[in-house]
Amino acid sequence: MKIRLFLTGLCIYILMPMFVYADNIISKVNIKGLRNVKEKIVLSEIKLNEGKVYSAESARDAVRSIIELEYFDECIFIFDRNIGILTFDVVEKPYIEKLIFKGNVEFSNSKLKDVSVLKEKKFYDILKLEESKKRILKLYGDKGYADCDIEAYPTIDMDTNKMIVTFLITENNKILIGDVKINGVTSYSNKKIIKFMKKVRPKEIFKDENYQKNLLDVEIFYKNNGFMDYKLLTSTVSFNKSRTEVLLTLNISEGIKYKLGENVFIGNFVLEDKELKQIVKFKKGQVFNEQKVAETKQKIAESYADKGYFQTQIVPDFHKIGDIVNIDWNIKENSVVYVGNIYIEGLESTKEKVIKREMLLKPEHVFSRKKLIESIRRVKNLGFIDNVEYHLLHTGVHDIVNLAFEITEGKPGSINAGIGYSSVNEIVFIVDLMHMNLFGLGQHLNFMVEYGKKKANFNINWTESYIFNKNTSLTLNIFDIVKKKDYANVINAYSERRTGFSIGVGPRIGQFVSLMLGYRYENIMLSKIDNSSLVRQSDLTVRDSIKKSDELSISDLSKRRITSMFAQIIYDSLDYKYDPTKGNRQSLSVNLAGSYLGGNVDYVKTVFKSSWFLPVVWKFVFSTNLEVGSIVSYGHSKKVPFYERFYIGGPESVRGYKYRTEIGHDDGGNYKAIFNFEYKFPIVAKRGNSVLVGAFFYDIGGDWGSNETVKWLGTDSNNLRSSSGFELRFATPVFPIRIGWAYGFNHKETENLQSLYSSIGFSM
């Protein structure tokens, strides 16, 4: 009995929807009221069709989709349950068949059609009509037709629901500025003040927005030059009888020119007077400057925010005594603010821990503005993050705020292939597989194959930035590089092949300092040595000259094995390492190669690099770079092999001179020094990152066998050489490219004074 009841209930449960919903099945969908819109367009936008279950909610969704097409003013639906027909009754907007412009002389019909928001072969909208009139009026206004008038006349054919919109334009006269008068100027000449009216000068087109902007410019000038009581009493705009010229008249009151007196700080406990006075950028006796006062207020607020006092209120109170103004800085510090929760939003492929481990701010930490800015910098420098924005979320507790970071991920990986040309390596084919965020863990993997006339390169590089979740990186590199090398005046004098690997561990210390410790192993083989060409003016061939410069015989050159330990310390405060605009980077590296590690070459190489970036105006950046190095032999090696010494020239050091052959000694130097000065500016940017950059530069450098042989500028092998020029830098999807022109100031008579060059793989 129980089984029978269970089976009966189960059947009822299964069959019930068939009876309940039988009347709600849609047998057909009709669109009623169409005149110029095809039915299939409407049906493609709605999700209801034959065989679907009808519901009022789904029908209302369909109505919204139909209205969003912007073809219809109204849409209602009716569902006949008896026959299952769902009907949408629409009221079409008029279809614009033609736009007609009359009375226009200054602008062509096609120009006005481009400006109009209403378009032919589209549907009419009264809001778009009004917007079109505004845009056309602005177009005329920008040309000086301030009195231009526009009337629009839509006419509709009721049978076809098609419309013609006619714009009747009365251009009237072009109005230019006749004269600008400023009354009340006593401390300066009228001519000087009128200079600030840059956009409203005689014979120029009058635009009210430019006029208002220049009025503000005059006020800023006065208040930044001591006249804190400056007032614009009246400003009038009048026209001549024919309304072809406008006269601008300003009546101003300059007031007294004030000088700064004492700065008094009231209510400060966290920051002492001594610290606050260092922030103030103006001194007693200087002319009052409203902008500097505002900047000082901002700097004080930032100094408090760096210590967690985000809610500090700063109100400057001015006390005037004659022509002296004293400033009381009223400070209400309020309580320190702490970090509550930190939320990371917007991640798609990156693990949340990859972002959070770059954050210097942690829950329950004091909310420091300085640490917040540094955290954002560190996240951007991961290389696969396009943008970082933060939001403060109130918690209901006055001294605790939550932090939400909105992350915009870039493309973490790519597979690129390309062909390029460099003045050093000539034509190069490149296949580059790169991933900067492997498995979403922030690991970097780069696999590159280069092949060209003078170079063949196979390289695999892998980096884990936080090995075992510690603040330490691990880098592995495997390489096989073959290059044709020039020697003295001989092109392609020999081939050099380097095969090996390296491993490095890089612990980070604090915010800006990191170390790199590691081991490198490489085999070096020289082959295809030119035995016919003479080296410069001597009687030696390339083979004989190389043999003379090296300890081993030519037959032993293939047995060179260099094993070394290296250490590097880096200080890096650059705002964005891929395109820096401010900050500096200092590095000192020491490479100790020795037979005690299994090699057969003993030397110590030390290189110091110092780079500084300083923003100037707009997005212009001035940068300096210094690189000095030394390499000395010890132990079993009487001298450093010539292929391990320093060579100067080419796009990477002193531009305008050929690499290896025009600066320094034929066999390279044991010491080098390079100075680069640049003034760079963005030309094209995308998502805030520079795509095309221009740079003016001045380079100076040289290499020497002994630090006692260094000479100032000249053409001798021991002289420094200098150059100047201009460079374009392209951040292409495949690889960065530089193209430049350089002029060398210290060339020999037989050398070209100027040169065009290019390079591939440079990071801007």
What CATH number does residue 118 fall under?
3.10.20.310
Give a yes or no: residue 523 inside a domain.
no
Q: pLDDT grade, residue 414 (50/70/90)?
A: low
Q: Are residues 310 and 356 in the same domain?
A: no
Q: Are residues 150 and 230 in the same domain?
A: no
Tens digits of residue pLDDT in 668-704: 899 999 999 999 998 887 766 678 899 999 999 999 9
Q: Are residues 162 and 111 in the same domain?
A: yes
Is 422 a residue whose pLDDT tops 80?
no
Please give the backbone phi and psi of residue 600, each rounded to the nearest 5 degrees, phi first. Answer: -130, 25
Give a yes or no: residue 515 inside a domain.
no
Which residues have CB under 8 Å from 196's CB, separation 6+? 214, 217, 218, 221
**Boundary residue ending a domain (388, 409, 430):** 409
Q: Are residues 17 and 72 in the same domain?
A: yes
Is 20 a residue whose pLDDT tops 50?
no
Rounded to whole angstroms, the Cα distance separating 419 from 430 reads 6
* pLDDT for residue 423: 56
Give a yes or no: residue 371 inside a domain.
yes
Whole-angstrom Cα Rg for the chain: 37
* pLDDT for residue 81: 87
Is 732 a residue whose pLDDT tops 70?
no
Is 325 a residue whose pLDDT tops 80?
yes
* pLDDT for residue 14: 45
Choose among 587, 582, 630: nearest CA to 605: 630
* pLDDT for residue 110: 92
Give a yes or no: residue 223 inside a domain.
yes
Give a yes or no: residue 364 inside a domain.
yes
| 10-19, 121-130, 529-538, 605-614: least confident range | 10-19
Average pLDDT over residues 478-484: 92
Tens digits of residue pLDDT in 466-475: 998 888 999 9
**Boundary residue ending a domain (27, 58, 92):** 92
pTM of the full predicted structure? 0.65
Which residue in the block uniquely carries the two structure tokens 């059609």? 113
Rounded to whole angstroms, the Cα distance separating 751 from 746 reads 10
| CA 282 vs CA 224, 262, 277, 303, 328: distances in Å | 12, 11, 9, 17, 14
Q: Are residues 289 and 248 in the same domain?
A: no
Q: Are residues 15 and 81 in the same domain?
A: yes
Number of domains in the chain: 5
* pLDDT for residue 619: 83
* pLDDT for residue 76: 93
Q: Are residues 23 and 53 in the same domain?
A: yes
Give a yes or no: residue 446 inside a domain.
no
* pLDDT for residue 198: 79
Please give the backbone phi and psi of residue 191, each rounded to the nearest 5 degrees, phi first. Answer: -60, -40
Tens digits of residue pLDDT in 577-609: 778 888 999 999 999 998 888 888 899 999 999
Tell me the sheet residues that pair with 28.
85
Rounded to whole angstroms, the Cα distance separating 119 from 117 reads 6
Average pLDDT over residues 228-240: 91
What's the whole-number average pLDDT of the chain? 86
Q: Are residues 311 and 277 in the same domain?
A: yes
Tens digits of residue pLDDT in 615-649: 988 889 999 999 999 999 998 888 888 889 999 98
Average pLDDT over residues 512-537: 85
Average pLDDT over residues 567-579: 88
Tell me the sheet residues that pair with 99.
165
**Boundary residue ending a domain (31, 66, 92):** 92
Give a yes or no: residue 309 inside a domain.
yes
* pLDDT for residue 16: 44
* pLDDT for residue 18: 44
Which residues constitute the domain of residue 121? 95-170
CA dihedral 461, 465, 468, 471 (to 10 degrees): 150
In percent, the amount of the chain with pLDDT more than 90 equals 42
Q: Are residues 111 and 83 in the same domain?
A: no
Q: What are 603's two structure tokens? A: 């030397």
* pLDDT for residue 196: 83
Give a yes or no: residue 553 inside a domain.
no
Is 166 a residue whose pLDDT tops 60?
yes
Q: Are residues 110 and 65 in the same domain?
A: no
